[in-house]
Structure 1
Amino acid sequence: MGECPVWHAGEGCFYWTDIPARTLWRIDAAGQGLTHWALPVQLSAFALSEGGGFIAATDRGFARMTIVDDKVAFDFAGGPDLPEGWRMNDGACDRQGRFWAGSIAGKPGVEGEAGALFSIARHGVLEARGGRFQVQNGLAWSPDGRRMYVSDSYPAHPHVLCYDFDPESGERYGGRLFADHATLLGRPDGAAMDVDGCYWIAASDSGRILRMTPEGRIDAEIKVPVPNGTNLCFGGPDLKTALITSMNRDCIGGDIFAVTLPFQGLAEPQFVVK
C-alpha cells in the first residue's frame, strides 16, 4: 500500500511509505538510487520538518522522524491516544505549518466507531479537530490557506468535503460536499494542490488521478495503468513531475509512477517546530 509521496527539494528525491509493510522508500528525481528502510511502526503519512527530518503520522500517533546513520528513528510527540488496532491515516501540513492527520480503526465501518482529525503545531501542541470519518483521506489546502479539503474513502459513502478555513486558528467552517462517487467514478484517496488552486485527487478503483477546479469541475486526468492509485505529489526542479503511488490489490498495483505535466504543483509547507 504505497502512500504519501513527499518531494524533498534539498535532496532532489521523492519519499513514500508502504503502510502495512512498515517500509520507507526513497528515489531520486531521475528514477535512480532506490533505497528503503524497515520501520518499527506503521507509517501512514509524513511531511518535511523545519530544521531537518520529518513529522509523521503512525499507529502510535504523531512522531518526529529522522534518518541517522542510515537508520530511521522516531521520537513520539505525545498523542493522540489511539485505541488498540487503530492508527493514523492521511496527513499533510496546512499553510501555517501545522501537521494534520485523521485516525482510522483497524476495521473501518464498525458501527459506533469513527475516526477524527487531529493537528499538531509548534512546541508539540496537539489539538482534536473533530469530524467523523471511516477512512479519512484527501487533505489539502488552497494556495491562500483559506480553503481546506478532506475526504472519506469508505465504500458506503465516498466523498470529498470542502471547508472555509481560518489560517490563524486552524478552525474550519461551512463544510459542503465538493465531490462524490458520481463525480469521481471512484473513491477519493490522497490529494495534492497546484499553483492554480486546483485540487488533484486519486480516484481509487477507477485508475485515474483527477484535477478539479475550485468550482468542482474536472478539467484534466492522468490514467494510471493500475486500478488503485492512492496518492500523488508534485516534485522535480519545476514541480511539474507528479509521483503517483498505488496499492496492490489482487496482484495488480503496488508500483509507483511518474509523469511530466503541463501544470505546476504548489510547494508544500514544512512543519513548523518552534
Structure 2
Amino acid sequence: MTATFKAERIASPGCTIAECPVWSARENCVYWVDIPEKRLFRLDVAYGHLRSWALSVKVGAFAISDGGGFIAATEKGFAHLALEEEQALFTFGAGPDLPPGWRMNDGACDRQGRFWAGSISPTPAEADQWGALFSIGQEGQVVVRGGAFRVQNGLAWSPDGRRLYVSDSHISNVHVTRYDFDPETGACSNGQPFADHALLGGRPDGAAMDSDGCYWIAASDSGRLLRLTPEGRIDAVIEVDVPNPTNLCFGGADLSTAYITSLRREGVGGGDLFAVTLPFQGLAEPCYQP
C-alpha cells in the first residue's frame, strides 16, 4: 500500500519558478531561488521570518560551501555566492563558458563534495540544443561530464555515493536514469532506465535522497512528489495543492521534514513553499569542498 501525505503551504512569496530548496542546519533555515526573477529567499522555520536578496544573474541551483557562502550554478557558469546584509555578491571565473542565453539548471553535491549541474538552452526543444553535465571540485577544477539533456534535473546520489540518479524534464525526452558512480573519479557508467513518464504520472523535476536509499522526485504537472525504492517501486506520495512542485530537500532537527518548492502557472497558482513531516529521514547533504 502506498502511503500518502499532504504538504502544507508555509510561505507564499509569489515566485515564478521557485527551485533548489537548501537546508541550513546551522541557521535552522531553508533557502531557495526564484530562477527567472533572480531572487534568493531564506525562511527561518522556527519564527517564520522570510527575507530575500536580489541576484545579478539567474541561479538554477546552489549548495552550501564548506569555505563559507554558497557554490552556485548560474547563467555565467559556476560561481561563489556570498550573502551580505544588503546584497548578494558573486565571484565568477570557474566556467564552463556557456553560449549566449544558456544557463545552468539543476545541481547538487556528490558525497565527496563536488558540485554538479547541467546546462540548458533557452530553446531546449530545438534539434541541436542538448545540454550536458559539469562538475566543479577542489581548487575550482571544472570537469565536463557529458550526457545529452533537454532540461536536466533530478540529481541525487545513493547514501553510499555509488549510484547517481539524473532526469530530463522535457516532454520530448522524459526519463530518470541511474548510473554506477565512481566516488573517487566521478565517472558515470552503465546507465539504466529507472523511471519513466508513465510510472511517475508527471514530468520528473528536482529530487532528493533519503537515508533508506529511496529517491524522492517531484512529478511536475501531477501535484505530487514520489518516493521510489531502489527497485523503482513507488511506496509513498506527497500531495501539494498546486500542479507543479519543482524540488524538495529534507530539513529539521532529524531531517524528517520535506521542504518543497513550486512554480506558478497562470490560472492554477503555485510559486509557494510547502512543508510536511514524514516518517522517513533524509540525508545531510554534503557541502561543496572548495
TM (norm. structure 2) is 0.93
Is the counterpart of residue 47 in structure 1 residue 69 in structure 2?
A: no
The match for 1:9 among 19, 22, 25 is 25
CA contact (8 A) 1:77 1:124 kept: no
Aligned pairs (5 A) from 1:1-274:
1-30=17-46, 32-251=48-267, 252-273=269-290
Q: Which string of whole-angstrom CA distances, capped at 9 and with x for unpartnered residues, describes residues 72-114 of structure 1?
A: 1000142001001000000000000000000000111111120
Question: What is the deviation of 1:68?
Answer: 2.1
Question: What is the deviation of 1:30?
Answer: 2.6
Question: What is the deviation of 1:39?
Answer: 0.6
Q: Which amino acid aligns with 1:233?
A: C
Gaps of 5+ in 1: none
Question: What is the deviation of 1:135?
Answer: 0.1
CA spacing shift, 1:171–1:69, aligned 2, 3 Å:
same
Q: Which amino acid aligns with 1:135?
A: V
Q: Which amino acid aligns with 2:285?
A: E
**Alpha-carbon RMSD:** 0.8
Q: Which amino acid aligns with 2:184?
A: E
For the residues of structure 2 that align with 1:157 and 1:41, how far apart are their CA atoms? 27
Q: Secondary structure at the match of 1:51?
A: coil
Q: Secondary structure at the match of 1:34?
A: strand
Q: Which string of whole-angstrom CA distances, capped at 9 and with x for unpartnered residues, describes residues 105-151 of structure 1?
A: 01111111200000000100000000010000000000000000000
Q: Secondary structure at the match of 2:167?
A: strand
Q: Which 10-residue stretch deviates more, 244-253 or 127-136?
A: 244-253
Q: Which amino acid aligns with 1:269?
A: P
Q: Which amino acid aligns with 1:234?
A: F
Question: What is the deviation of 1:175?
Answer: 0.4
Q: Secondary structure at the match of 1:41?
A: coil
For the residues of structure 2 that align with 1:10 and 1:31, how far apart are their CA atoms? 15
For the residues of structure 1 that align with 2:231 and 2:143, how far apart are their CA atoms? 30
Q: Which string of whole-angstrom CA distances, capped at 9 and with x for unpartnered residues, describes residues 13-49 of structure 1?
A: 0000000000000001236110001110001100000
CA contact (8 A) 2:73 2:107 kept: yes
Count of residues in correspondence between the two structures: 273
CA spacing shift, 1:31–1:150, aligned 2, 3 Å:
farther
CA spacing shift, 1:10–1:77, aligned 2, 3 Å:
farther
CA contact (8 A) 2:150 2:173 kept: no
For the residues of structure 1 that align with 2:281 and 2:44, how far apart are their CA atoms? 19
Q: Which amino acid aligns with 1:130?
A: G
Q: Which amino acid aligns with 1:180?
A: D
For the residues of structure 2 that align with 1:80 and 1:10, how far apart are their CA atoms? 31
CA spacing shift, 1:31–1:115, aligned 2, 3 Å:
farther
Give the share of equivalent positions with the same residue, in percent: 65
Q: Which amino acid aligns with 1:204?
A: S
For the residues of structure 2 that align with 1:52 and 1:5, how far apart are their CA atoms? 18
Question: What is the deviation of 1:71?
Answer: 1.5
Who is 2:13 aligned against? Answer: none
Q: Which amino acid aligns with 2:255?
A: L
Q: Secondary structure at the match of 2:153?
A: strand
CA spacing shift, 1:234–1:31, aligned 2, 3 Å:
farther
